[in-house]
Structure 1
Amino acid sequence: MAVNENAELEELIRNATGGAANAPVTEAEPTDEGGGIDFDTLLLVARRSLLWLVLLIGLGLTGAWLFLRYTKPVYQSSSLLKIDEKTEAGALGLGGALGSGVDNQQSINKLSGEVELIKSNIIYRRLRDSLDLNVNYYAEGTVLESELYGLSPFKVEYSGSVIYNTKFNLKFSSPQQVQISYLLGGQEQNTTQAIDKPFQIGGMTLVIQRTINFNQEVLDRSYHFIINDEGAINGYLDRNLLVEIVNPSANTIQISFLEFNPDKARAIVNRIDTVYLQEKLAQKRAASAQTLKFLDQQLNENGQNLERAAENFQDFVRRTKTYDVRSSVTELKAQVEKLNDERLALEEKRVLLSDLTSRVERGNITTREDLTVEQSIPGLATLADPQLSQQLGDLNGLLLDLRRVERSNRETTEAVKSRQDRIAYAKDNIRQTLLQNQRLLGKQLAKLNEQWNAVNAELQLVPERATEEDRLKRPLALYENTYVMLMGKKADFNIAMAGTTPDFQILSPASLPAAPISPVRLMVYAIGLASGIALGLGLMAVRYLMHNTVTNVRELERATTASVLGVIPTYDKEKMAVSKLVVDKSPKSAISESIRSIRTNLDFISSAKKKRLISVTSTISGEGKTFVSVNLGGIIALSEQRVVILDLDMRKPKVNIAFGAENIKGISTILIEKHGVMECIQHTSIPTLDFISAGPTPPNPSELIISPKFDEMLTELHQVYDVILIDTPPVGLVTDGILIMRKADIPIYIVRANYSKKAFLKNINKVIRANNFTRLCTVLNDARASGLYGYGYGYGYGYGYGQGYYEETKPVESTLTRLRKRFS
């Protein structure tokens, strides 16, 4: 609609200007015709939308509260398990001992398999058997129902052809009777039965029993229960059970369960841990039994091999008379070294005996009197022969005595000869002793040589025996170690069979959830608040983007090249159905002051001392053109200037209505020369202000305006009046306004705040460029300082397709508009 309206306006302007709007324009286009963000308009839209923002925020918070009120809280209970999976061969340490068939390099990370085991029917079946999941008990609430897990005041036992997954409603009429209703075959069934007594429903036998939670309050509430089949339970567990691998490196698994009842969630997680433990124990016992069977088989085979290896080694020991060849080598080497040391000692003794023999023959036992024989011959002690030492000591004493005697006697003297004889005798005794010792040494050396040869022969056989011993010991040690190891493992697994433990640890057992994971109250309220704010801001953005009317002077200045002559505020002193002269009644009001400001600005544009022709026009009807014309003329007239107002809107005359006068004759009759100018002048309450009404509506207003008679009328009026103020038709609808504006000294263009479209401002620029209106000024009418709308009167022009103008319409204020006014 806005695009069509703008197109029509442009077409009308082109028609009014004779196609001048399409002529080349040498003047540069304005750099800013409303582009960018207008913060004043944005602030105005935000102020007007503040109530909506508050309402939307309240709506968002209300929606959040309703969501929390009608949504069941979901609780999550979790436990953390550490899995230490090992292969059985790796656990036995048999990878290297048993060779092929055992792979100790198998992966120990079987977490994915453990996850599937936990979520398998094996665990689900154990859960159904250990937990009371077959029947769900509920209590009816005002809005929501709540599950009575472990707290139900009654218990149901059933048998026969069970009706699964059907809601059975219960109402206890007394402690002994209960009313039951249910749907069967699409029809509601009702029955009253006694408590603790079996009764039939279809082919199913039911017994309703009271529990310890049954009390008097139960009679005031409604309950229902559902019997679940295996598929329903498995589906329930699949939907709410979550098993995740938390840390593959640490082999940790988290088991989580979602439930509306926190006690039930914790009970299920703890039971899953328990049944998983039991299943793992059963698997380990089965694996242990298979391992024991394998160990018995290996022990039998290894025992036979060990027996054969032991017999072969026994034959070797009998033949070699040793259990350890390498240790005997050390022993033989030690014997050889010992024999070599003994031979060396005997050789030293033999050399010493030879030396003693030489000394005895020479008589050179000692050379000094102050030395003994042992001191003179150090090796004498090694002979360990006290008799020889005694004989040598006696001989040495005789030799010393002989030397003393020879100093004082000759060799022929008896004293010398007797001592020589004794020395000769002593030497003979020593020779016999030395000879005896030499013979003994010879025998000892011969015996040592025999022993050395025997030991050396044994050493020559050691390498061969050592090789044979290693060959026999190798299988013996292998079979013996394996046998001992297998016996130990068998004992360990026999013990494990009695006390098998699972290969996992419960690092964090399931705890009672303190708060629900969904919905999170703070998050829901935050989302509601954010949604309200987002919708409010979105509404502001939409209203700003769809805000296509002029609201303030800034928009007018930014979008038009014409100067702004002034701003007329909203006149809210009284509600006017039509335009009136108000400046004479309220000379001190804001509207009077604003029009005086416009009068002053007009004096700057055109001197007040000369005759002036002022035209007042607008784009469409309803922008306050007549109101401004009447009151601007009144203000100028109050400044002692003679003013006449001409109503050239001959299709829809309004000036006479503003002054409460008749429209029998006027401009139209003057131009057709039916009446004279002076005959049509009408006076007002202001002595210097007159007006000429439009007169009867002619069929050709445009032709009358361009006739020479119109110029003659203006010339005649200039002789009497200082200012001629013309109320022209809207330029966006007819061509008359453009024709009059060309004749005016100061064309004034009226823009009404919150009424005139922003597209009209572009049309103003086109009119200025097409007609070279250098003095065209704009006036912003009905500008509001507060949030109120308009100055109370509603009127408007419009051109019908068959007539001329559209009919006047007065905007009807909605309830929201009135609320907004009150809020502002």
Structure 2
Amino acid sequence: MNQINNSTNNFFFEEEENINLRQVLEQYLYYWKWFVLGLIVAIIGALFYLKYTQKQYQVSAKILLNEKESAAGELAGLADAATMFGTSSNAEVGDQIEILKSRRLISKVVEQNNFNIRYFSVGRIAEIETTAAESPIKILFLNEADKLNEELFEELEVKIESTTKFKLSNRNTKEANTYSFGQKISTDFGDIIISPNKNIAKSIDAEYLIKLYSLDYTISYYQSKIQIEPNSDKNSKVVNFSLVGTVPNISKKFINDLINQYNLDLVTDNNKLTEATSKFIDSRLDIVTGDLQGVDRDLERYKLSNNITDVTSEANIFLQNASDNEKKLLESSTQLQLVDYMNSALNSNKTDLLPTNIGLQDQTIASQIASYNELVLTKEDMLKSVTNEHPNVVKLQEQIGDVKRNLKNSLRLYRNNTQTTLSTIQNKQNQITSRIQKVPSQERGFRDISRQQQIVEALYLFLLQKREENEIKAAATPENIKVIDYAYSSKVPVSPKKSIILLGALILGLVIPFICIYIYKLLNNNVNSKEDVEDAVGAPIAGQVPKSDISIIEQNDNSSVAEAFRILRTNMNFLLKNSTDPQSIYITSTTSGEGKTFISTNLAQILTMSGKSVLLIGADIRSPKVLDYLGITDQYRHKYGVTEYLISNDINISDIIIKNPADYKFDVIYSGQVAPNPSELLMNGRFDDIVKYGKANYDYVLIDTAPVSLVTDTLLISDSADITMYVVRANYLDKRMLAIPKELYQDNRLKNMAMVVNDVDFTKGYGYGYGYGYGYGENHNKGRFFKNLFKRK
């Protein structure tokens, strides 16, 4: 039996294994109107979004980081020193970008421009941000500290009622009151005043929104929004700025002020270096001035005590020879003092900045001093945004230590060389001195004091010159950056992008209906197709009957329903092995309402179309419906039926047969009156006589029986069946109920059982794939679009 059934399944549905993908596609295409509706709604939503969403524009700027000069205005030797210590001639571009993005700089820009206060125009759908200058109202904090409150987050709605009054509502607290412009308003976040701007008269009855944010939140917001990146060229010192916002003027103001604040910081650093040099020179001048005054007094006392008024003629003999030596001696002595001054500054300096270009003739020492100051400034810049423990700061400190040690070594070496030179000059000078032994001792003393006076005076004049140079440098500090492009806005908004929004809407318009349909199918536990029946029951499928409003097919009917019953007739004969013997065919179902009577009446009709004689028996004596389907209830409701025959032995079978009712080509025995004990009546054996009579006089006997899950009537009379057509209605029967026919089939309790799937909606893509053209000449009822669209599936 199982072998026959398996071969039958393979015979009918072998080709269908290859069309699953098509079936799935057709199942979703059935809901094409929902996909169209989804696309329409999504596109309309996208258009509304594009219309009412405030557009965002990109604001850009570009600067060039200039070379930094030393405080004294000289760059000699810096390039070599920079290469030696592995740094660039100016601060690294990456480090400067970190400074530009630092909270310290951004906080200054935010505070100066009140960027933590934002103004919006409230429309019916959207809120459009505007600048403080364009807003007809302005909020002022009476206490500036309240504006910097770290927990500040308020949304204030302002409805302008007149040029003098407005209604203020707090979205957070839901408080609402009417105030006059300029009136002091006490709130939980401080005392405020709301004042009107010049365009207040044009904004009467309009609503505006003021959003107050904490300074910390606003700084973090701009840190996340601002893009500061170096140029693609590694050797370039160009820095690019980019900021995306809804109000281009606000973005422009932020970028331009950030650039100006950064430049101001660099100027401040230069001023610090200049100030350090100025303090050093002033301190040296104080000392040298005292020395010079002391030498002058010594010379004055010497002349007075020794009555010296002029240089004697004897000394003139050696002046020419001694003159050159004295100049060299003076120069060497000056260099030694400068070295001592620099050593003193290096050992006791508190600011870490060293004076530059004070007259040391060794170019290496001048370059090392410039490099040392450059590293100290770089460290101070870093400490503005990071701590001493930061790896870059630690690395810089190590470099500063290395430069400091090298500078001390260079000073020591230079001092030794200068001392050696001085000794050589002094020896030569001693030789000359020994030759003027006859010169009066008074003149020699005068010479010594005069020489000391010249040395101190030369140093004094030198320091005065350097002080003046430093002051000139401080008064004419050059720009540290060059602005290539001030902030400018793009004409085309960068967001929302129309093409991307519309594309996203198209995708959502297709995906959302697909997901909804998928979830609906996932949650739908009813039988939908013959595959559900095949998988759950395992019995062969004799046929599928499409969804239709037809009660019974007509002669020469070419509709999809008629074609389905012709296929059912062919498959049934195959299951009966095309036997020419009379056959009894039972039609049953799991529950009522699955269309077994519909199948019975139409199968009888289609069999008569092939020239066969058919007897249709209504064996559901609990709920008779055969006459109703044939439309002859009023004519034959009082005639004897199966119930009466089973009750009375005086009634013959011929007495209960209705011959060709309503011009149908088949005969009918209807159920009769509803009996109080149907099961007992069916067990008395007389029903078998009806079946035997039918098989003796007709080619086919169709028995419309009761549902098997509700009563046992069908099982009581099933032995008389040659084949049992088990009807399952699609989109009606719960899949869990398929366990009943499965058990009946496996236990072989219904003879030659085959499944008939009724009420299949082929437009959903279920079934054989006849889909939209099952049959010929069919006149489908097609309602209007929206009527079908919202028709319950």
TM-score range with shorter-chain normalisation? 0.5 to 0.7
Moved more, 79-88 or 735-744: 79-88
Rounded Cα–Cα distance in structure 2 between residues aligned with 1:533 and 1:245: 40
Rate the CA distance shift 1:774–1:294 in 2: closer, same or farther, 3 A: farther
1:805 is matched with none
Per the alignment, residue 277 of structure 1 pairs with 263
- 2:339 — aligned with what? 302
Structure 1 residues 169, 522: closer, same or farther in 2, change over 3 A? Answer: same
TM-score relative to the length of structure 1: 0.58
CA distance in 2, matches of 1:220, 1:92: 63
CA deviation profile, 1:3-60 (whole Å, cap 9, x unmatched) = xxxxxxxxxxxxxxxxx99xxx999999999999944542343123222222223333
**Shift in Å at residue 521 of structure 1?**
3.8
Secondary structure of the 2:221 match is: helix
Partner of 1:648: 619
**1:709-744 Cα distance to aligned partner (Å, 9 max, x none):** 333443344333343221112234333334444421
Structure 2 residue identity aligned to 1:218: K
Matches within 5 A, 1:584-733: 591-592=561-562, 594-596=564-566, 598-604=568-574, 605=576, 609-637=580-608, 641-658=612-629, 659-660=632-633, 661-662=636-637, 665-674=640-649, 675-685=651-661, 686=663, 689-733=666-710
Task: State the superposition RMSD in angstroms.
Answer: 5.5
Alignment of 1:820 onto 2:792:
no
1:631-659 Cα shifts (integer Å, max 9, x gaps): 32244345554432222212212224334
1:51 equivalent among 33, 45, 56: 33
Matches within 5 A, 1:458-473: none
Note the C-alpha offset of 1:221: 7.3
The residue identity in structure 1 corresponding to 2:641 is G
Matches within 5 A, 1:240-639: 240-242=222-224, 246=229, 255-293=241-279, 300-302=337-339, 310-317=421-428, 496-501=473-478, 503-506=480-483, 509-546=486-523, 548-550=525-527, 561-572=538-549, 582-583=553-554, 591-592=561-562, 594-596=564-566, 598-604=568-574, 605=576, 609-637=580-608
Partner of 2:54: 72
The answer as to whether partners of 2:230 and 2:240 remain within 8 angstroms in 1 is no
Candidates 748, 751, 761, aligned match of 1:771? 748
CA distance in 2, matches of 1:694, 1:159: 94
Question: C-alpha separation between the residues in 2 aligned to 1:650 and 1:668?
Answer: 7
Kindly provide the CA deviation profile for residues 518-543 of structure 1, in whole angstroms up to 9, marking residues without a partner as x.
Answer: 44444333333322322122123223
Return the offset for 1:276.
1.3
Q: Matched residue of 2:34: which SS?
A: helix
Displacement, 1:273? 0.4
Which position in structure 2 is the counterpart of 1:736? 713
Query: Matches of 2:478 and 2:156 in 1, distance apart?
Result: 43
Quick check: 2:136–2:196 contact (8 Å CA) kept in 1? yes
Distance 1:111 1:535, change over 3 A: same
The alpha-carbon distance between structure 1 residues 40 and 110, as it changes in their structure 2 partners (threshold 3 A), is closer
Contact persistence 2:605–2:664 (CA under 8 A)? no
Distance in structure 1 (CA, Å) of the matches to 2:568 and 2:6: 28
In the aligned structure 2, how far is the partner of 1:302 from the partner of 1:97?
A: 22
Maintained 8 Å contact 1:135/1:225: no
Contact 2:616/2:704, CA 8 A, preserved across alignment: yes
* Mapped contact 2:27–2:763 kept (Cα < 8 A): no
Change in Cα spacing, 1:563 to 1:138, as seen in structure 2 (3 Å) is closer
- Aligned residues, how many? 592
TM-score, normalised by the number of residues in structure 2:
0.59
Distance 1:487 1:522, change over 3 A: farther
Counterpart of 1:405 in structure 2 is: none
CA distance in 1, matches of 2:161, 2:791: 57
Q: State the shift of 1:63 in Å.
A: 3.5
Opposite residue 668 of structure 1, the aligned amino acid is T
CA separation of 1:151 and 1:562: change in aligned 2, threshold 3 A: same
Corresponding residue for residue 374 of structure 2: none
Q: What does the per-residue CA deviation read over 1:120-156, in whole Å, with 9 as the maximum and x for residues that have no partner?
A: 4566446655x57698666565544555538548797
Amino acid at match of 2:424: F
Looking at structure 2, the residues matched to 168 and 590 of structure 1 have their Cα atoms a distance apart, in angstroms, of: 66
Counterpart position of 1:461: none
- Cα distance in 2 for partners of 1:202, 1:546 equals 58
Q: Determine helix, strand or coil for the equivalent of 1:771.
A: coil
Q: 1:191 maps to which residue?
A: 180
The one-letter code sitting in structure 2 at the alignment partner of 1:313 is T
Q: Is the 8 A contact 1:647 1:727 kept in 2?
A: yes
Question: What's the secondary structure of 2:724's corresponding residue?
Answer: strand
Cα distance in 2 for residues equivalent to 1:127 and 1:219: 28
Higher alpha-carbon deviation: 611-620 or 516-525: 516-525
Tell me the secondary structure at the aligned position of residue 623 of structure 2. Answer: coil
Return the offset for 1:611: 2.4
Q: How much has 1:281 moved relative to structure 2?
A: 0.6
- Counterpart amino acid of residue 55 in structure 2: P
Matched-pair contact (CA < 8 Å) for 1:87–1:104:
no
Deviations 1:577-622 (A, max 9, x none): xxxx5536x6566545554554455455355643221212223222
Change (3 A) 1:684 1:240: same
Structure 2 CA distance for partners of 1:603 and 1:663, relative to 1, 3 Å: farther
In 2, the alpha carbon distance for the partners of 1:139 and 1:499 equals: 47
Q: Which residue of 2 aligns with 1:385?
A: none
Determine the C-alpha separation between the residues in 1 that align with 2:624 and 2:211. Answer: 87
Distance 2:704 2:512 in 1: 46
Matched with 2:344 is: none
SS of the aligned residue for 1:511 comes to strand
Q: Which has the larger radius of gyration?
A: 1
Q: Distance in 2 between matches of 1:183 and 1:752?
A: 62
Q: Which amino acid aligns with 2:594?
A: E
Deviation at 1:200, TM superposition (A): 5.6
Question: Hey, what's the Cα distance between the residues in 2 that align with 1:759 and 1:227?
Answer: 59
Q: Is the 2:57–2:490 Cα contact (8 Å) retained in structure 1?
A: yes
**Against the structure 1 CA distance between its residues 65 and 209, is the aligned structure 2 distance closer, same or farther, given a 3 Å change threshold?**
closer
Distance 1:821 1:168 in 2: 43
Same amino acid, percent of matched pairs: 23
Q: Distance in 2 between matches of 1:758 and 1:159?
A: 71
Q: Which runs of 5+ in 2 are unaligned?
A: 148-153, 285-333, 342-414, 433-459, 767-782
**Structure 1 position 270, deviation (Å):** 0.8
The SS at the match of 2:549 is: coil
Change (3 A) 1:42 1:663: farther
User: 1:369 maps to which residue?
Assistant: none
Q: 1:92 to 1:784 in 2, by over 3 A?
A: closer
Q: Could you tell me how far apart the structure 2 residues matched to 1:641 and 1:673 are?
A: 31
Whole-Å separation in 2 of the counterparts to 1:633 and 1:782 = 18
Q: Residues 788 and 43 from structure 1, CA distance in 2 versus in 1: closer, same or farther, beyond 3 angstroms? A: closer
**CA 1:36–1:701 in 2, change beyond 3 Å: closer, same or farther?**
farther
